[in-house]
Homo-oligomer: A and B are copies of this chain.
């Protein structure tokens, strides 16, 4: 599915799409190198299916999962950060030891060009404040020299989104909001301090879709779900772990999954393998849900 001959710029989805994934998804692989690779698949799936937010939640009530949560969220954030900003924004940390195995996201907010002369007025770029000068802030946007964002005082090392307003030897830019960008612009990473059920209570989603082998085959609720999908402004799709599904995870908080989610769907009816892992379920589920946009 490459398309080198044509560059199609992916638009954002019509709804804000969040994913919730359990921290224990990296529990069953012992080596950090494979954990990194696995988290890499999740970041890739999020980018491919234009996810806006990934929420990592604790799912084992009797365990301190802060290490795994930090591991998953740090690697996902690292992946989402354009390559030219990583050195500045991420210190050397043990959990980033194997980031060399991570595949690039190849999203519109990871531009391939690193030349000032290729900048265009109106173009958005991710950047980081490198220093403050009299006229404003200098922002590294991954070209030879930083651009000037006039009349702006922001802490050094702050990550910002800018829009190019002037070209030439010292290009200028203004701060931009992600909301004004029409193309898909990567995902945010959030750590949930509270478990699954509490997370659903604290955040307000118009549509919560839980995935479970014990759910309804998607095809049976496809039209109903497509209707909800299209009218929802904030949609959450949530996943279980290899060792426990979402029904079990909800049960830790004495919740019935059918009552806390609007839909519990099985996106892989007739699965040939006894268990499906989180990253595998992510690709399969987001692929079938992505179809709904066109139903």
Contact = CB atoms under 8 A, between A and B. Distances in A.
Contact of A287 (B220, B283, B293): B283
A218 to B, nearest CB: 6
A245 B2 contact: yes
Contacts of A243: 2
A235 to B, nearest CB: 15
B272 A107 contact: yes
A269 B11 CA distance: 11
Could you say which interface size class chain A belongs to?
35 or more
Interface string A1-17: 11100111011010000
Given A1-B213, A48-B271, A269-B293, 15 more contacts: A1-B281, A2-B241, A2-B274, A3-B213, A3-B275, A29-B101, A37-B37, A41-B41, A45-B280, A48-B280, A219-B291, A220-B294, A268-B290, A284-B287, A288-B291
20 contacts: A1-B268, A1-B275, A2-B242, A2-B244, A2-B245, A8-B213, A10-B270, A34-B101, A37-B37, A41-B41, A44-B273, A48-B271, A49-B268, A105-B273, A269-B290, A269-B291, A269-B293, A283-B283, A283-B287, A288-B291
